[in-house]
Amino acid sequence: MNHVHRLLTLCRGDSEAMVPWLEERDSRWLVTCAVVITLGCALYGGAVGLWRAPIQAAYTAVKMPLLIFLTCGGNALLNGLLAQVLGAGLSFRQSAISILMSFTLASLILAALTPVALFVLVNAPSLGSAERGTGHSVTMLTDVLFIAYAGVVANGRLLRLLTRICTTPEAAKRVFWSWLAGNLFLGAQLSWILRPFIGTPGLPVQFLRDDPLRGTFYEAVFGAAKNLLF
C-alpha cells in the first residue's frame, strides 16, 4: 500500500487496516506523517497569521508544526508509561506511532479548513479598522474552534484504533482519556508559550513574546469570548 492510500485509509478511520502499521520497522511511514504534519499545519498557520501581517503568517506557518512536534515529543514518554500502567498492552513505539497518526489526521483536517479560515480572514474586521479588536477575537475563536474540531475527529479515529489493539475496551478508554488530557494540557500551554500565532493589535510582530510565561491560554480565550459577547 503506497502512502497516499495510507493517508486515505487514515481519513476513513479503517482501524483494522492500520493495526499492522504499528508493528512495522520501516521508518518511511513515520517520515510521511511528519511531512504531512509540517505541510498541513504550515498551510493552516499561514492563513491564520495573515490577519496580522504577512511576516506573522510566515512565523505562524513555522510555529504550528513546531507546536505539534513539541506536544508529541513532550508527552511521548508519559503516554508510553500510561499505556503500560493502565494495562493497554502497548509498547512505547506503538503508543508513539498511534499518537503521531492521530496528529497527522488532525493536520489533514486543518489543511482542508484553510480555505474556510481565509474566508473568515477576508470577512473579519481588518487590523486597520476601528473594530480591529473584534477582528482579533473572531480570528482567535475561529482558530480555537477549528483546531478543536480537528482534534475531536482525529481522536475519534484514535479511540477506534486503541479499541482494536488494546487488551480490553476498558483499557482502551482509560488510555485514550489519559492521553487526551495530557496532550490538551501540554498543547494549550505550549501554544501560549509560543505565541503570538495571530498577533495582538497594538503589539509588534514577533516570533515569540518577550514574556512567554505571563498569563495563560485559557485567560486569552475567555477574554476573546468576552470581547465578542459583552
179: Cβ contacts below 8 Å, ≥ 6 apart: 75, 79, 82, 99, 158
In this predicted structure, what is the pLDDT of residue 135?
86
In this predicted structure, what is the pLDDT of residue 57?
95
Angle, CA 62 vertex, CA 56 and CA 219 arms, to 5°: 65
In this predicted structure, what is the pLDDT of residue 140?
87
Structural domain spans, the chain:
3-229
In this predicted structure, what is the pLDDT of residue 58?
96
In this predicted structure, what is the pLDDT of residue 188?
87
In this predicted structure, what is the pLDDT of residue 44?
97
Distance CA 185, CA 182 (A): 5
In this predicted structure, what is the pLDDT of residue 1?
57
pLDDT in tens, the chain (230 residues): 588 999 999 999 999 999 999 988 888 999 999 999 999 999 999 999 999 999 999 999 999 999 999 998 888 888 888 888 888 888 889 999 999 999 999 999 999 999 999 999 889 888 888 788 888 888 888 998 999 899 989 988 999 999 999 988 999 999 999 998 888 888 888 988 999 998 888 888 999 988 887 877 777 777 777 776 66
Nearest partner of 97 among 180, 192, 23, judged by Cα: 23
Distance CA 73, CA 96 (A): 9
